[in-house]
Chains A and B, each alone.
Chain A
Amino acid sequence: MVELIARRLLSLVIVMSVVGVIVFTLMYVAPGDPAVVMLGPEASPDDVARLRRQLGLEQPLVVQLGRWAFRVVQGELGESIFLNQPVTKSIAQRAEPTLALTLLSLVVAVGLGVPFGIISAVRAGTAVDQAFATLAVFGVSMPEFWLGINLMLLFGQYLGVLPVAGYIPLLENPLQWLRSLVLPALAIGLVQSALIARITRSAMLDVLSQDYIRTARAKGLLERVVVYRHALRNALVQVVTVIGVVLAVLLSGAVVVETVFNIPGLGRLLVTSVLRRDYPVIQGVALLVSVIYVLVSLVIDVLYVYLSPKVKYL
């Protein structure tokens, strides 16, 4: 196990290097210029050229990449061009909304998805299963932003019970913090719960048709014990995998939902930085996302060991 963790952490360095070089090169060859975005539509070409020189954008790719890599090795991600602050600070300011949104969305997604999946599997073929299956198809097919806009209309505008946009930090006002996140968390959570429910159902059906389940029932065990202790535990390997993927996606920033609800999280930072051609921030967020993916997949792999005695890492 220790070796697994060490190996994964080592691979992190390789993944980050590859991601860094690819993103840097793509940004270099992509059209667009941060200087014109910052100086505005009526800036003179001379001023744009001067700012490009000041920002070091006129230097060759290798020089720019080398400088950036040198700083990254020292733990610095550089300065944001547009925001005029260190990239690490920009990311840190966006981390709280994204973490909070991820957590609440995951509560909704897992809280609804897993029970619905189990009930569907246990009652496979019944009207309940079909009703859940229909709902799940709706859920999976629904874009999050569309659901978000409709939730906004219903709870924000017609009923007037929840704010339609913005983010209140937890320490500023815990109640308002929760209120500001309910709608975006529902928009993400409901859609993701459909995915989790479908995976849970199919994993549970696989397990429930196994011989050892029949044996357990034949032994006269309570159905509750059969389902939760014997079936669910084995089905969880697949469910945890999909939850892990959802977690990694959400931690990287729910781009569309953050934009619709005007939440200053990592997803919105990435999109606005691309539009502003704020290269250091784009590179910083890309590195962070690669770290998140590697770490989440590591955590999932470790969980496998606890969930399934069949899984062993040598």
Chain B
Amino acid sequence: MKCRRHETPRSWIRVLVIAAVLIAVGALTPAGLAQAPVRGGVLRWGVEAEPPTLDPHWTTVSVTAQIANHIFETLFTLDKDGNPLPHLVDRFTVSPDGRVYTLDLRRDVRFHNGRLMTSEDVVASISRWGRVTAAGKTVFTSVRSVEAEGANRVIIRLTERYGPLLIALANPFRSIPAVMPAEIVREAGEGQVQRFIGSGPFQFTERIPDRHIRLTRFANYAARSDSPNGYGGRRVAYVDEIRIIPVPEQPTRVSGLETGLYDFANDVNPDMYPRFRANPNFQIFMAHVGWPIAMFNKKEGLFTDRTMRQAFLAALNMEPLMRVAFGQPAFYRLTPSLMPQGAWYSEVGKEQYNQANPERARTLLRQAGYTGKPVRWITTQAYEWMYRIAAGARPQLEAVGFALDLQVLDWATLAQRRANPALWDVFSTGVVNAAEPTDDVYFSANWPGWWVDERKEGLLKQLGQTLDYRQRYKLWEDFQKHWWQEVPAINFGHYSTMRMGASRVRGYANLRMPFFWNVWLAAR
């Protein structure tokens, strides 16, 4: 016993030492290491289509913006709540009358060609964005001048107060107001940018169309010092390379992810959700991206009559349509809101949205004097959900007395025909979330559907000129109420897209636009 008593302390020490070593070793296992960001690796990202260009100003195609956000940066960006956050701008001031914005640029920002960013680059880029993009043109109706003052200051003078200016300059969703070297802008002239040089954490390295686009870490990237917040704050390129692989076939994207060919896949069919939900090898992300729309032709034909549009709306029961389109209830939401969950969400108009009232629809049709002329609804299977909604709505509409001529076209034909008001009465499309209400292109009187309406224009103008959020929100609710009374289009509800990542993808912040700075790959 004595002997044991003498030995006990030593054996405890031994146990403690061994335990400490084991804990230390445990912390060094790959699983332990994976908790802390690690550098290196190639992140292979399966996207739904080959982009037409990587010129961020030139197209509204989403996949271009998704890729370009890694190469190019903007003066402002959006925080996690959708508010503008300085990015290439260090600090800024707004004059008391709201017409002069003075932007002091960060001095440490370097382009991928090694040159420091100056105010001349910003003026050239923002001027081109205002000339080339629909969003920029809208903003520039209120812009008097964009001028450089010295090497690091830009002054934007407005003709009138314009509330959404900073959000427009932060928009990462489409036609992004990216900053690039002035010489690149000059080279492009009226055409596309040919050299993709920005200041982002990844630089363009190679593009082989329909095979891959390679972005590699920009070694001289000047990160902000503030914490990551939404799309903004500190950006770190942990992976050596992002390899973007266009995989148009959705099942191929999924099986490629399952077998380790890709680390991340966009736009996966929600039908896959039950299969992967409980699988620890994969991560599932949902991102609310927008809503399906049936746009009425208000220039010619049957739906120039508001009562006809109201009859169409009254006949629809949204629940089965959204279910048939998006499968899983987790991926859609029945709501009249024209903006996503957040600062601009509102349920005004819920009495009109989702009435499922055939009696009322019949009464309205009688009032409109509808004679049974077929409604030409052009839709497409290029986006399966557009077709499914149209096909699902057909029996509901026919039950109240509408005659339907459903025309299924490919996307290129639909997008061409919708510009000609003589060819259609309703067309299917999807509208993606805007950064802010005035940014929605489909409200425009010029966009196919041609909603010419004085009250709408007045409300949008007031929204643009008002700076106070509460006043703006009230105006926005008035707009939404007006929308559901006038029914320029049918908004069927909100939908989310499904993205999938391998379990080794870490640090991914699932916002509406996927991005891979601050993302690292854990050991397999």
A85 at interface, CB cutoff 8 A: yes
| B412 with A37: CB separation less than 8 A | yes
A residues 174-216 near B (Cβ < 8 Å) are: none
CB closest chain-B residue, reference A152: B255
Residues of A within 8 A of B62 (CB): 40
| B416 with A84: CB separation less than 8 A | no
A239 at interface, CB cutoff 8 A: no
The one of A38, A47, A149, A156 in contact with B259, judged by C-beta atoms closer than 8 angstroms, is A156
A36 at interface, CB cutoff 8 A: yes
B363 at interface, CB cutoff 8 A: no
Residues of B within 8 A of A94 (CB): 210
Would A42 and B134 be within 8 Å (CB), given that A54-B191, A262-B256 are in contact? yes
| A42 with B261: CB separation less than 8 A | no
Size of the A side of the interface (Cβ < 8 Å), in residues, is 47
| A276 with B412: CB separation less than 8 A | yes
A residues 8-64 near B (Cβ < 8 Å) are: 31-34, 36-48, 54
A116 at interface, CB cutoff 8 A: no
CB closest chain-B residue, reference A44: B134
CB closest chain-B residue, reference A156: B259
| B59 with A40: CB separation less than 8 A | yes
Most A-side CB within 10 Å, residue of B64, B249, B415, B419: B415
Residues of B within 8 A of A269 (CB): 210
| B256 with A41: CB separation less than 8 A | no
User: In the complex the two chains form, what is the Cα distance from A153 to B441 in whole Å?
Assistant: 43
Closest approach, in angstroms, between the C-beta of B385 and any C-beta of chain A? Answer: 14
A166 at interface, CB cutoff 8 A: yes
Would A40 and B61 be within 8 Å (CB), given that A31-B409, A32-B416, A272-B248 are in contact? yes
Which stretch, B70-78, B94-102, B442-450, touches the partner chain A?
Answer: B442-450
Would A261 and B252 be within 8 Å (CB), given that A41-B415, A84-B192, A268-B210 are in contact? yes
| B60 with A39: CB separation less than 8 A | yes
| A43 with B134: CB separation less than 8 A | yes
Which stretch, A129-137, A157-165, A242-250, A299-307, touches the partner chain B?
Answer: A157-165
Give per-residue flags for B394-415: 1 if the beta carbon is below 8 A from chain A beta carbons, else 0.
0000000000000001111101
| B52 with A48: CB separation less than 8 A | no
B390 at interface, CB cutoff 8 A: no
A128 at interface, CB cutoff 8 A: no
B245 at interface, CB cutoff 8 A: yes
User: In the complex the two chains form, what is the Cα distance from A93 to B255 in whole Å?
Assistant: 25
Closest approach, in angstroms, between the C-beta of A273 and any C-beta of chain B? Answer: 10
| B61 with A38: CB separation less than 8 A | yes
CB closest chain-A residue, reference B432: A42
User: In the complex the two chains form, what is the Cα distance from A65 to B241 in whole Å?
Assistant: 43
Closest approach, in angstroms, between the C-beta of A299 and any C-beta of chain B? Answer: 29
User: In the complex the two chains form, what is the Cα distance from A94 to B53 in whole Å?
Assistant: 19
Give per-residue flags for B234-267: 1 if the beta carbon is below 8 A from chain A beta carbons, else 0.
0000000000010111011001101101000000
User: In the complex the two chains form, what is the Cα distance from A264 to B174 in whole Å?
Assistant: 27
User: In the complex the two chains form, what is the Cα distance from A42 to B444 in whole Å?
Assistant: 11
Closest approach, in angstroms, between the C-beta of A266 and any C-beta of chain B? Answer: 11
CB closest chain-B residue, reference A268: B210
B474 at interface, CB cutoff 8 A: no
| A264 with B255: CB separation less than 8 A | no
Give per-residue flags for A64-77: 1 if the beta carbon is below 8 A from chain B beta carbons, else 0.
00000000000000
Closest approach, in angstroms, between the C-beta of A272 and any C-beta of chain B? Answer: 7
Closest approach, in angstroms, between the C-beta of B7 and any C-beta of chain A? Answer: 52
The one of A38, A160, A262 in contact with B52, judged by C-beta atoms closer than 8 angstroms, is A38
Size of the B side of the interface (Cβ < 8 Å), in residues, is 50
B366 at interface, CB cutoff 8 A: no
B208 at interface, CB cutoff 8 A: yes
B209 at interface, CB cutoff 8 A: yes
Residues of B within 8 A of A160 (CB): 259
Residues of B within 8 A of A42 (CB): 60, 134, 174, 432, 441-442
A275 at interface, CB cutoff 8 A: yes
| B255 with A164: CB separation less than 8 A | yes
| B134 with A37: CB separation less than 8 A | no
Residues of B within 8 A of A47 (CB): 134
| B258 with A32: CB separation less than 8 A | no
| A262 with B53: CB separation less than 8 A | no
CB closest chain-B residue, reference A81: B52
| A264 with B412: CB separation less than 8 A | no
Most A-side CB within 10 Å, residue of B62, B209, B249, B442: B209
| A45 with B448: CB separation less than 8 A | yes
A residues 258-280 near B (Cβ < 8 Å) are: 259-262, 264, 268-269, 272, 275-277
| B256 with A90: CB separation less than 8 A | no
| B208 with A163: CB separation less than 8 A | no
Residues of B within 8 A of A164 (CB): 252, 255-256, 259, 261
CB closest chain-A residue, reference B173: A42
CB closest chain-B residue, reference A80: B209
Residues of A within 8 A of B441 (CB): 42, 44
Give per-residue flags for B174-203: 1 if the beta carbon is below 8 A from chain A beta carbons, else 0.
100000000000000011101000000000
Residues of B within 8 A of A41 (CB): 60-61, 415, 429-430
B417 at interface, CB cutoff 8 A: yes
CB closest chain-A residue, reference B135: A42
Closest approach, in angstroms, between the C-beta of A26 and any C-beta of chain B? Answer: 14
| A31 with B249: CB separation less than 8 A | no
CB closest chain-B residue, reference A43: B60
User: In the complex the two chains form, what is the Cα distance from A280 to B247 in whole Å?
Assistant: 23
| A32 with B410: CB separation less than 8 A | yes
Would A45 and B256 be within 8 Å (CB), given that A31-B409, A33-B415, A262-B249 are in contact? no
A83 at interface, CB cutoff 8 A: yes
The one of B50, B247, B411 in contact with A165, judged by C-beta atoms closer than 8 angstroms, is B247
| B412 with A34: CB separation less than 8 A | yes
Give per-residue flags for B119-136: 1 if the beta carbon is below 8 A from chain A beta carbons, else 0.
000000000000000100
Closest approach, in angstroms, between the C-beta of B488 and any C-beta of chain A? Answer: 16
The one of B60, B211, B444 in contact with A167, judged by C-beta atoms closer than 8 angstroms, is B211
Closest approach, in angstroms, between the C-beta of A179 and any C-beta of chain B? Answer: 12
| B210 with A43: CB separation less than 8 A | no
Closest approach, in angstroms, between the C-beta of B418 and any C-beta of chain A? Answer: 9
The one of B137, B211, B410 in contact with A264, judged by C-beta atoms closer than 8 angstroms, is B211
Closest approach, in angstroms, between the C-beta of B439 and any C-beta of chain A? Answer: 10
8 closest residue pairs by CB, A with B: A40-B60, A32-B412, A36-B415, A33-B416, A40-B61, A38-B52, A42-B60, A31-B413
29 A–B contact pairs at CB < 8 A?
Answer: A36-B415, A36-B416, A38-B53, A39-B52, A39-B58, A41-B60, A41-B61, A42-B174, A43-B134, A45-B446, A83-B209, A84-B53, A94-B210, A149-B251, A152-B255, A156-B255, A157-B259, A164-B255, A164-B256, A164-B261, A165-B255, A165-B261, A166-B256, A261-B252, A262-B245, A262-B252, A268-B210, A276-B412, A277-B412
A: residues with CB less than 8 A from B are 31-34, 36-48, 54, 82-85, 90, 93-94, 149, 152-153, 156-157, 160, 163-167, 259-262, 264, 268-269, 272, 275-277
B: residues with CB less than 8 A from A are 50, 52-53, 58-62, 64, 134, 137, 174, 190-192, 194, 208-211, 245, 247-249, 251-252, 255-256, 258-259, 261, 382, 409-413, 415-417, 419, 429-430, 432, 441-442, 444, 446-448
A42-B442, A94-B210 are known contacts; what are 19 more A-B pairs with Cβ within 8 Å?
A31-B409, A36-B416, A37-B52, A37-B412, A38-B52, A44-B137, A44-B441, A44-B446, A54-B191, A83-B50, A83-B209, A85-B209, A157-B259, A164-B252, A165-B256, A165-B261, A262-B247, A272-B248, A277-B412
